[in-house]
């Protein structure tokens, strides 16, 4: 099937202080399903423009922080309605620039709209409490106030949803934002900002500075006028952001890698186990920080599970993200494809056996590979230690439940973890003993709800949780006021 593409040479600009401004440099946005398809050209900001954007956000904070929750909710709601009306077009663009399937892209746009509506409503939620003092005649108010200018730095794997779950609560609670999307996926970010500013955000409340992390991200993280930084991306970049932000005591929230385990118990239903495994590990081409990359399989069910998994994997249709028949799209770029292939070569050399993982010849040039599973690995193998961030899983055998839990927890990361079991006792035990921030029982390790806390432990995360009402901890700061009666 042929995909309709409208290659455009229009330059998409940055948005600073209410104006669309070109950058000193630009990037071509390339479709990973068809590298001949250039989606558009996107400006890259320089450090001076980032400084301007932060200045504009600091200036706009004075007015925006004193608007009512209703005013903010109305603007966000208007943006959500436009996204709903344009859901098909936005999903097509997202699939085209990132490479997740059109079904997954539609789901992400839908999730983004729900995130917008949820936080629009949160803007009206009670913002504090009144407490009796320990002194007679004194009343205490505890009020939440916005933090100030928030820097938002996002990855390429969820081009709309991750920006939304940072930007929308930041705005809803009265903060202003400087937003740097991933250099690989500027189109979805550009549309998100375009829709939000046209919905009525005053000038400077939301600024878009596209470009490279080493230039734009660094300038945001270092600027002392930025009071809070929310980042999702790699461990190495997260460490850099933290260090830069700490120099001026900005509050920081980091969501980084995972090496998420999925335990398959000896009592698991095989069909459930394979579905949970395939969905959680190969959905979004495995490019989710919540994806399960390690399967820990009880030796009594191991061979049957591997056989059923291999059969299911061989049926996964890999192809153009926008072809409705496709079940797994390409990986995002050449570098990521090479990293995945290198990981497989290394795992094979460590004496594992690789199922799948072959490069795929498609009608159009793209970054296609088949889902891969490495069988017969040892817990200490490299493949069980470092995150791959692709459709690559490794399988370790466990003797019993206790050993499986120990193997699951034997990682420096702690984002999500999962178990497939029919035993209530094992499920409850794993829920209690897992060291991850999110535990999944009989559901995939990836794919989370937007109204509950999201985040991990150990090397995976830093700072307070994202999403749901927990987002308020990061995007507001508390003021405690003591009010005396004014009499002696």
Give me the least distance between CB of 301 and ligand UN1, in Å please.
Answer: 26
Cβ atoms of 291 and 279 closer than 8 Å: no
Q: Which stretch binds ligand UN1 (CB under 6 A): 211-219, 239-247, 311-319, 440-448?
A: 440-448
With a CB cutoff of 8 Å and minimum separation 6, the contacts of 416 are 258, 260, 290, 292, 436, 437, 438, 439, 440, 445, 446, 448, 456
Considering the complex, state which of residue 13 and residue 461 has its C-beta at the smaller distance from ligand UN1: 461
Q: Which stretch binds ligand UN1 (CB under 6 A): 8-16, 243-251, 282-290, 340-348?
A: 282-290
Cβ atoms of 159 and 191 closer than 8 Å: no
Q: Which of the residues 365 through 424 are near ligand UN1 (CB under 6 A)?
A: none
Considering the complex, state which of residue 366 and residue 418 has its C-beta at the smaller distance from ligand UN1: 418
Give me the least distance between CB of 451 and ligand UN1, in Å please.
Answer: 13
Give me the least distance between CB of 253 and ligand UN1, in Å please.
Answer: 11
- Using CB under 6 A as the binding rule, whether residue 289 contacts ligand UN1 is answered as yes
- Using CB under 6 A as the binding rule, whether residue 157 contacts ligand UN1 is answered as yes
Q: Which of the residues 205 through 234 are near ligand UN1 (CB under 6 A)?
A: 232
> Binder to ligand UN1 among 288, 401, 426, 465 (CB under 6 A)?
288
- Using CB under 6 A as the binding rule, whether residue 302 contacts ligand UN1 is answered as no
CA 432 from centroid of its chain's CA atoms: 26
Is the alpha carbon torsion for 117, 257, 29, 392 positive or negative?
negative
Q: Which stretch binds ligand UN1 (CB under 6 A): 81-89, 268-276, 288-296, 357-365?
A: 288-296
Residue 445 CA: distances (Å) to CA of 7, 290, 416, 456: 37, 6, 6, 12
Q: Which stretch binds ligand UN1 (CB under 6 A): 167-175, 208-216, 286-294, 311-319?
A: 286-294
> Binder to ligand UN1 among 56, 187, 446, 471 (CB under 6 A)?
446
Q: Which stretch binds ligand UN1 (CB under 6 A): 138-146, 283-291, 317-325, 418-426?
A: 283-291
Give 375's strand partners: 353
Cβ atoms of 8 and 18 closer than 8 Å: no
**CA geometry: angle at 162 spanning 20 and 257, to 5°?**
125
Considering the complex, state which of residue 352 and residue 437 has its C-beta at the smaller distance from ligand UN1: 437
Which ranges in 207-298 belong to alpha helices (H)? 218-222, 235-246, 270-282
Q: Which of the residues 5 through 24 are near ligand UN1 (CB under 6 A)?
A: none
> Binder to ligand UN1 among 23, 80, 148, 155 (CB under 6 A)?
155
Q: Give the position of tokens 């390429």.
A: 156
With a CB cutoff of 8 Å and minimum separation 6, the contacts of 236 are none
Considering the complex, state which of residue 281 and residue 394 has its C-beta at the smaller distance from ligand UN1: 281
Considering the complex, state which of residue 174 and residue 238 has its C-beta at the smaller distance from ligand UN1: 238
> What phi, psi does 454 have (nearest 5°)?
-125, 130
- Using CB under 6 A as the binding rule, whether residue 101 contacts ligand UN1 is answered as no
Residue in 82, 98, 255, 466 annotated catalytic: 255
Q: Is 255 a catalytic residue?
A: yes
Is the alpha carbon torsion for 235, 240, 246, 252 positive or negative?
negative
Give me the least distance between CB of 234 and ligand UN1, in Å please.
Answer: 10
Which string of b and e fits 24-58 if b means at least 16 CB within 10 Å?
eebbebbbbbbeebebbebbbbbbebbbbbbbbbb
Cβ burial, residue 399 (10 Å; 0-12/13-18/19+): exposed
Spatial distance between the Cα atoms of 234 and 244, rounded to a whole number of angstroms: 15
Which ranges in 316-352 belong to alpha helices (H)? 334-349
Q: The tokens of 289 are what? A: 């920080």
Considering the complex, state which of residue 53 and residue 278 has its C-beta at the smaller distance from ligand UN1: 278
- Using CB under 6 A as the binding rule, whether residue 290 contacts ligand UN1 is answered as yes
Q: Which stretch binds ligand UN1 (CB under 6 A): 178-186, 285-293, 303-311, 403-411?
A: 285-293
Cβ atoms of 278 and 264 closer than 8 Å: no
Residue in 82, 97, 104, 289 annotated catalytic: 289
> Binder to ligand UN1 among 46, 448, 465, 474 (CB under 6 A)?
448
Q: Which stretch binds ligand UN1 (CB under 6 A): 12-20, 157-165, 260-268, 332-340?
A: 157-165
> What phi, psi does 174 have (nearest 5°)?
100, 15
Give me the least distance between CB of 162 and ligand UN1, in Å please.
Answer: 6
Bridge pairing between strands 25-31 and 251-255: unpaired
Give me the least distance between CB of 288 and ligand UN1, in Å please.
Answer: 4
Give me the least distance between CB of 255 and ligand UN1, in Å please.
Answer: 5
Considering the complex, state which of residue 45 and residue 182 has its C-beta at the smaller distance from ligand UN1: 182
Give me the least distance between CB of 260 and ligand UN1, in Å please.
Answer: 10
Spatial distance between the Cα atoms of 357 and 371, rounded to a whole number of angstroms: 5
Q: Which residues lie near ligand UN1 (CB under 6 A)?
A: 155, 157-158, 162, 232, 255, 288-290, 446-448
So which residues are the catalytic ones?
255, 289
């Amino acid at each position: 099937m042929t995909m309709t593409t409208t290659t455009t040479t229009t330059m998409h600009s940055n948005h600073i202080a209410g104006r669309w401004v070109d950058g000193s440099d630009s990037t071509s946005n390339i479709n990973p399903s068809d590298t001949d398809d250039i989606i558009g050209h996107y400006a890259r900001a320089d450090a001076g423009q980032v400084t301007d954007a932060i200045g504009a956000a600091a200036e706009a904070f004075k007015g925006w922080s004193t608007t009512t929750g209703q005013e903010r909710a109305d603007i966000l709601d208007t943006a959500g309605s436009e996204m709903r009306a344009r859901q098909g077009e936005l999903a097509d663009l997202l699939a085209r620039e990132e490479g997740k399937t059109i079904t997954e892209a539609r789901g992400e746009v839908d999730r983004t709209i729900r995130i917008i509506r949820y936080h629009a409503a949160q803007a009206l939620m009670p913002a504090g409490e009144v407490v009796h003092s320990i002194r007679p005649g004194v009343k205490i108010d505890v009020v939440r106030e916005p933090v100030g200018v928030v820097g938002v730095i996002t990855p390429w794997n969820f081009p709309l949803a991750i920006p939304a779950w940072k930007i929308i609560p930041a705005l809803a609670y009265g903060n202003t934002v400087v937003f740097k999307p991933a250099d690989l996926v500027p189109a979805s970010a550009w549309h998100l900002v375009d829709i939000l500013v046209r919905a009525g955000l005053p000038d400077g409340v939301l600024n878009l500075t596209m470009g490279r992390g080493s230039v734009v991200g660094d300038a945001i993280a270092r600027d002392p006028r930025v009071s809070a930084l929310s980042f999702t991306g790699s461990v190495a970049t997260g460490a850099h952001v933290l260090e830069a932000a700490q120099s001026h005591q900005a509050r920081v929230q980091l969501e980084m890698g995972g090496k998420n385990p999925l335990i398959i118990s000896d009592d698991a239903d095989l069909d459930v186990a394979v579905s949970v495994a395939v969905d959680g590990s190969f959905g979004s081409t495995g490019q989710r920080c919540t994806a399960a990359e390690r399967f820990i399989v009880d030796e009594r069910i191991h061979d049957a599970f591997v056989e059923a998994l291999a059969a299911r994997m061989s049926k996964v249709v890999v192809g153009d993200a926008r072809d409705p028949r496709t079940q797994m799209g390409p990986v995002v770029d050449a570098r990521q494809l090479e990293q995945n292939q290198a990981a497989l070569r290394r795992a094979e050399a460590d004496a594992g056996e690789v199922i799948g993982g072959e490069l795929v010849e498609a009608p159009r040039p793209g970054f296609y590979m088949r889902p891969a599973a490495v069988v017969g690995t040892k817990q200490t193998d490299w493949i069980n230690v470092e995150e791959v961030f692709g459709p690559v899983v490794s399988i370790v055998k466990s003797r019993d439940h206790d050993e499986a839990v120990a193997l699951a927890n034997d990682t420096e990361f702690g984002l999500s973890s999962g178990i497939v079991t029919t035993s209530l006792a094992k499920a409850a035990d794993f829920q209690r003993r897992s060291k991850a921030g999110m535990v999944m029982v009989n559901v995939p390790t990836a794919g989370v709800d937007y109204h509950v806390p999201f985040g991990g432990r150990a090397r995976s995360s830093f700072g307070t949780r994202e999403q749901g009402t927990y987002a308020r901890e990061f995007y507001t700061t508390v003021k405690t006021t003591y009010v005396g009666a004014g009499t002696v």
